[in-house]
Amino acid sequence: MVENNERNSFGKVGKGFRSFLKFREAMLIFIVIGFVLIISIMSPNFLTADNIRSLLVGLALDAIMVIGMAYAIITAGLDLSIGSVLALSGVVTGKLFVMGVNIWLAALIGIIVAVLCGALSGFLIGKVGLNSFITTLGVSGIARGICFVITEGTPIPLINKLPESFKFIGGGKLKGIPLIVIIAFVILIVGDLLLRRSASMRKIYYTGSNEKAAMLSGINVVKVKFGVYIISALLAGIAGVLADARFGVATPIIGGETAMTLISAAVIGGCSFSGGEGSVFGAILGIFLLSLVTNALILLNISIYWQQLVTGIILVLAITLDHVRNKRMEQSMLRLRKI
Amino acid sequence: MNIISGVFLPDDGSILFNDEETIFKNPNESQMKGIGFVHQEISLCEHMSVAENIFMGRMPVNKLGMINKKVLIKKSEEILKLFREPSRPKSNKKIGELSISQKQIVEIARAISLDCKVIILDEPTSSLTESETEVLFEIIRNLKDKDISIIYISHRLSEIFQLCEKITIMKDGEVIDTVNARDVSENEVVNKMVGRDIKNFFPEKTAMGDKERKVLLRVENLSRDGYFKDIDFELYQGEILGFSGLTGSGRSEVAKAICGIDKISSGSIFINDNKVKIDSYPKSMKNGLVYLTENRKEEGLFQGLDIKRNLTVSGIEKVSNKHLLLWLNARKEISASKKMVKDLDIKISSINQKINSLSGGNQQKVIVARWLFVDPKIIILDEPTKGIDVKTKSEIYSLIRNLADNGIGTIIISSDLPEIIGLCDRIIVMHEGIIAGALTSEDINEVKIVSLASGIKEK
C-alpha cells in the first residue's frame, strides 16, 4: 500500500524529482511545453530569439510580484494592493528624480514607501485582524490615490534625464539576455528556495493551513502575516523602480490589472485560496502560461481582445480540475483510513 | 452509518427499511424516509435562530413565498416542548449563543421534526459534560418511549451499557459481533473491539513518595477576570495531575492562561521554583511548558499538510541550520519524523501522507508526538482521548504514564471520569472558576469528583 499511495500521484518519475515537484507543477510544465510546441509549429516566429526575449521581458515584472501574491495566498490571505504599490513606488521614484534627487536614492525611497504600504496592510491584517481582501483593497486605493495626487494624473517622463546606468537596468543586456530578466530570475530563485527550505518561511504554510493550530504550535501568526505583506510590497516596490527603468516614464495608472493577473497565475499554479497550499514555482508557471497565451494570440494574429476570455477559461478550468482532484483524493483517503 | 443516511453510496449490499429494499442517494432521501442522522460534529448555522435551524430547508411559507415566522416559531416550540427545562433552548435564540448540549438538542429536534423513525447519534456525548450527558440520556429514553429507534454510536462503553439493548461491535470496517447488552460485560466488549485481551486498560500507577518529589510547577493565586479565580496548585515531577470538573468550569482556561495563550489578570507561576513571566505561548514553550489542545480538528491539525510537517511544526528549529537563515535540513527532518512515528507506534504508510488520511487516534498521536519532539518538561493534555478508539486510548494512557516515569510533569484535563480516575495520581476538581477540591490516591472516586464538580459542599 505504501507504494500505491505514493505512486498514484506521479507515475514513474524519479523519486527525488517527484518529491521536488508537486502534481500541479508537473502538470503545468507539461501544459507549458505542449503549448510551446503547438505555437512553434503554428507560427515560425515563436521560437526566435527576439520573440522569446520580449516574452521574458514582458513577464519579468509580473513574475517578481507573483512571489508576494503567492505568499499572501498561502497564508489564506490576498494582496490586492500589489499593482497600486507598484505604481506608487514608480511614481515616487520618478517624482523625486525630476525634483533633482539622485536616481538611486530616489529609487530607494520609492521602495521604502512601498514597504510602508505593506507594513500598513500587514499591521491591519496581522495585528488588528482585519480581512485581507478588504484591507488590501483599501490600501490599494490609498496608494493609487497618492499616485494621482503626486502626478496630477499625467505620467512623468524620465527617459531623457535618466543616467545610462539606470537605463541599463531596464533595457540592457548581458550576453544577449536582458538584465531585467536576470534580476527577475535571481529574485524568483531566492523566493522559491526560501519558501521551500527556510524554517521561518515554512510558517507561512502553517499559518495558512490552520491559523489557530499554528498559534497553538508556538508560531507568532501576527509576525508571519506582517512579514508576508511587507515582502509582497517590497517586491512590488522593486518592480515599480524596474518599470521606471524599463519604460523611462513613471505612470500613475500602471498595474491596474496586475492584482487580478497575479491571483489568476498563483491559483493556476496551485495556490489554494483556503491557504496552506501552493509554491512560488507553480505561481511562476502560471505567469508563464498566461504570458504564452497572450504571446500566441499576437503571433497567430488573433485579436488581443480574446486574451481575457482565454485567461478566464484557463482559470476556471484550473480550479475545477483542482476541486475534482481534491474530492477524489479525499475519497481515496477515506478508503485508506478504513483499511 | 454515512451510507445508511445517504452521505456515501454503498459499493455493495442493500438496506432494508421497513422491509423494503432501499438505497439512499443523498441525505435528503434518507431524511424523507425517516432516518435522521445527528453527526458528531455539530452542523448548524451559527447566525440563525433555533427555529430556523430546525426547519432549515423546509421553512413554512405564506402565499407570497415569504417565511411565515409565526408558524415557524409555533412549530418549533411544539417540538422543543419534548425537551425539559432548563436545557431547552428558546426557539428565537441564535445558535451561536447556545451551549454545546443545547446545540445537540437542536440537532435532535431537527431529526424529530422530520418525523424520523430512526435516529442515528454519532458520539453525541463527546463534547458534553456529565450532567449534560444525563440530560441527553433522558431525552433519548423519551424518544424510545415514542417508538423511535435509536442507533447510538459511541466509544464510551459505560454509556452504551446504560442506554442500549443491543450492541453491534465494529472494528476496521467489519462487524465483529452483535450481542444483547444484558448478556455481556464491559470487558468482553472491549476484548472484542480490540481483538485481544487488554489486561490493564490503564497503566499501573507509580508509587508516590510526595515528600521527596521536586515541585516542577507551582501556580499561585492565578486569576483571569470572568473565567477563574485564585487558582493555587503544584505539579510534582513525574506526576500525572488530573483536572476534572464540568465543561465551562474553567479547566481549559486555566491551562491556556498558564501557557500564555490567554492573558491573566493576576497571579504568579513558578517553574522549578523560579518565578517565570509567561506572556506568550512561544515563551511558555521556551520554559518547557506545552499545551495540547482539546479541539484536535480546529486547533491541532494542519489538514492539508503531510504528517512530517504536522509533526515538526513546533520544533522546526531543531531540524534546521541555525546559522543559515534557519535553513531546513530535509534529511534531519525526515529521520526525526520517522523516529517519532516509530516511538509512538503511529500507523502510517509514509510520512509524506497527508494528515487527514489518518484515523482520529493516529492523528492524535501525531499531535502528541509534535509536543514530545520539543522535549517538554511539563505537558498539559486537554481531553487527550476525545473521539479516539479504545486501543489507541490505552496506548496513549501507557505513553502518558511512561512520560511521567521519565520525570515529565503531566496535567490531564478530562471530562471522562473513568479515564481521569484510572490514570491520574492526583485530581483537582474545578467548579465555576475555582478549585473545589483536590483528591489523592485512595480518595479518588466518581462520587467525590461529581459532588465537587457540581458544587455540592462536603459535610
Residue for grid cell 503567492: A70
Residues 6+ apart with CB under 8 A from A57: A178, A180, A181, A246
CA distance B282 to B314: 9
Bridge partners of residue B61, in order along the sequence = B67
User: How would DSSP label each residue in B63-86?
Assistant: TTS-B-HHHHHHHHHHHHTTSPTT
Is pLDDT at B179 greater than 50 in this prediction?
yes
What Cα–Cα distance (Å) separates residue B61 from each residue in A282, B55, B68, B72, B78? 50, 11, 5, 9, 18
| Contact criterion met (CB below 8 Å) for B426 and B239 | yes
Is pLDDT at B10 greater than 80 in this prediction?
no
Q: Which of A2, A19, A206 sits opposite B313 (nearest CB)?
A: A206
Which pLDDT belongs to residue B172? 62
Which pLDDT belongs to residue A9? 40
B324 or A82: which carries more pLDDT confidence? A82
Measured between CB atoms, does B300 come within 8 Å of chain A?
yes
Strands B378-382 and B409-413, by their bridges, are parallel
Give the neighbor-by-neighbor strand order of the sheet with B118-122: B35-38, B118-122, B149-153
Least Cα separation, residue B329 to chain A (angstroms): 8
Which pLDDT belongs to residue A333? 65
Is pLDDT at B34 greater than 80 in this prediction?
no
CA distance B454 to B125: 18
Q: What is the pLDDT of residues A68-115, one digit of tens each?
A: 999 999 999 999 999 999 999 999 999 999 999 999 999 999 999 999
Is pLDDT at B374 greater than 60 in this prediction?
yes
| Contact criterion met (CB below 8 Å) for B289 and B381 | no
pLDDT band at A204 (very low <50, low <70, confident <90, very high): very high
Stretch A297-321: mean pLDDT: 85
| Range in A139-153, A308-322, B278-292 with the lowest mean pLDDT | A308-322
A235 or A302: which carries more pLDDT confidence? A235
CB atoms within 10 A of CB A82: 32
Assigned C-alpha cell, B55 = 426547519
Which chain A residues are closer than 8 Å to B172 by Cβ? Answer: 338-339
Least Cα separation, residue B353 to chain A (angstroms): 8
Which pLDDT belongs to residue A132? 94
User: What does the angle CA B404 – CA B409 – CA B413 come to, to the nearest 5 degrees?
Assistant: 100
Is pLDDT at A152 greater than 80 in this prediction?
yes
B34 or A271: which carries more pLDDT confidence? A271
CA distance A278 to B127: 35
Which pLDDT belongs to residue B367? 92
Q: What is the pLDDT of residues B91-144, one digit of tens each?
A: 778 887 777 777 877 887 887 777 777 888 877 776 676 777 777 788 788 878
User: Which uninterrupted H or E stretch holds B186?
Assistant: helix B186-194
pLDDT band at B20 (very low <50, low <70, confident <90, very high): low
Inter-chain CB proximity A202 and B293 less than 8 Å: no
User: How would DSSP label each residue in A56-73?
Assistant: HHHHHHHHHHHHHHHHHH
Which of B316, B348, B366 best probes binding to A when mutated, by most A CB atoms within 10 angstroms?
B316
Stretch A300-315: mean pLDDT: 85
pLDDT band at A310 (very low <50, low <70, confident <90, very high): confident
Which pLDDT belongs to residue B84? 67
Assigned C-alpha cell, B249 = 468550569
What Cα–Cα distance (Å) separates residue A124 from each residue in A134, A182, B297? 10, 34, 27
Inter-chain CB proximity A205 and B309 less than 8 Å: yes
Stretch A228-256: mean pLDDT: 95
Assigned C-alpha cell, A312 = 478566464
B164 or B10: which carries more pLDDT confidence? B164
Q: Which of B261, B349, B354 sits opposite A216 (nearest CB)?
A: B261
Stretch B281-301: mean pLDDT: 89
CA distance B126 to B385: 10
| Contact criterion met (CB below 8 Å) for B413 and B406 | no
pLDDT band at B415 (very low <50, low <70, confident <90, very high): confident
B348 or B81: which carries more pLDDT confidence? B348
The pTM of the full predicted model, rounded to 2 decimals, is: 0.79
pLDDT band at A222 (very low <50, low <70, confident <90, very high): very high
User: What does the angle CA A70 – CA A76 – CA A81 come to, to the nearest 5 degrees?
Assistant: 60
Which pLDDT belongs to residue B125? 74
Which pLDDT belongs to residue A5? 40
Is pLDDT at A56 greater than 80 in this prediction?
yes
Which chain B residues are closer than 8 Å to A75 by Cβ? Answer: none
| Contact criterion met (CB below 8 Å) for A132 and A287 | no
Q: Which of B281, B301, B350 sits opposite A218 (nearest CB)?
A: B281
Assigned C-alpha cell, B157 = 462503553
CA distance B304 to B356: 7
CA distance B338 to A188: 32
CB atoms within 10 A of CB B310: 27
CA distance A249 to A242: 11
Is pLDDT at A339 greater than 50 in this prediction?
no
Least Cα separation, residue A32 to chain B (angstroms): 26
Rg of chain A taking only CA atoms, in angstroms: 21
CA distance B355 to B345: 15
CA distance B91 to B103: 12
Which pLDDT belongs to residue A10? 39
Q: Of B32, B42, B160, whose CA–CA distance to B103 is shortest? A: B42
Report the residue count for chain B: 459
CA distance A3 to A93: 56
Which pLDDT belongs to residue A315? 85
| Contact criterion met (CB below 8 Å) for B96 and B46 | yes
Stretch A309-313: mean pLDDT: 87
What Cα–Cα distance (Å) separates residue B403 from each residue in A9, B111, B193, B372? 38, 44, 26, 9
CB atoms within 10 A of CB B349: 17
Mean pLDDT is highest, among A202-206, B12-16, B316-320, for: A202-206
Rounding to the nearest 10 degrees, give the CA dihedral for residues B340, B341, B343, B347. Answer: 160
A143 or A5: which carries more pLDDT confidence? A143
Assigned C-alpha cell, B242 = 488530573
SS3 B98: coil
Inter-chain CB proximity B301 and A210 less than 8 Å: yes
ipTM, two decimals, is: 0.80
CA distance B361 to A82: 44
pLDDT band at A297 (very low <50, low <70, confident <90, very high): confident
Assigned C-alpha cell, B210 = 510526595
Which pLDDT belongs to residue A4? 39
Inter-chain CB proximity B302 and A272 less than 8 Å: no
pLDDT band at A207 (very low <50, low <70, confident <90, very high): very high
Q: Of B432, B426, B424, whose CA–CA distance to B453 is shortest? A: B432
CA B427 to chain centre: 19
Stretch B55-64: mean pLDDT: 75
Measured between CB atoms, does B352 come within 8 Å of chain A?
yes
Q: What is the pLDDT of residues B188-221, one digit of tens each?
A: 777 777 665 555 677 777 665 555 678 889 998 8
Which pLDDT belongs to residue B103? 80
Inter-chain CB proximity A338 and B313 less than 8 Å: no
SS3 B348: coil
Is pLDDT at A141 greater than 70 in this prediction?
yes
Q: Of B407, B374, B396, whose CA–CA distance to B236 is shortest? A: B407
CA B117 to chain centre: 29
Long-range contacts at B53-60 (CB < 8 A, ≥ 24 apart) = B53/B95, B53/B106, B53/B110, B54/B79, B54/B91, B54/B106, B54/B109, B54/B110, B54/B113, B55/B110, B55/B113, B56/B110
Q: What is the pLDDT of residues B424-436, one digit of tens each?
A: 888 999 888 889 8
Stretch B361-370: mean pLDDT: 91
CB pairs under 8 A between A and B: 98
| Contact criterion met (CB below 8 Å) for B138 and B253 | no
Which chain A residues are closer than 8 Å to B316 by Cβ? Answer: 199, 202-203
Is pLDDT at B62 greater than 90 in this prediction?
no
Termini Cα distance of chain A: 10
User: How would DSSP label each residue in A325-336?
Assistant: HHHHHHHHHHHH
Q: What percent of chain B has pLDDT over 70?
A: 85
Is pLDDT at B299 greater than 60 in this prediction?
yes
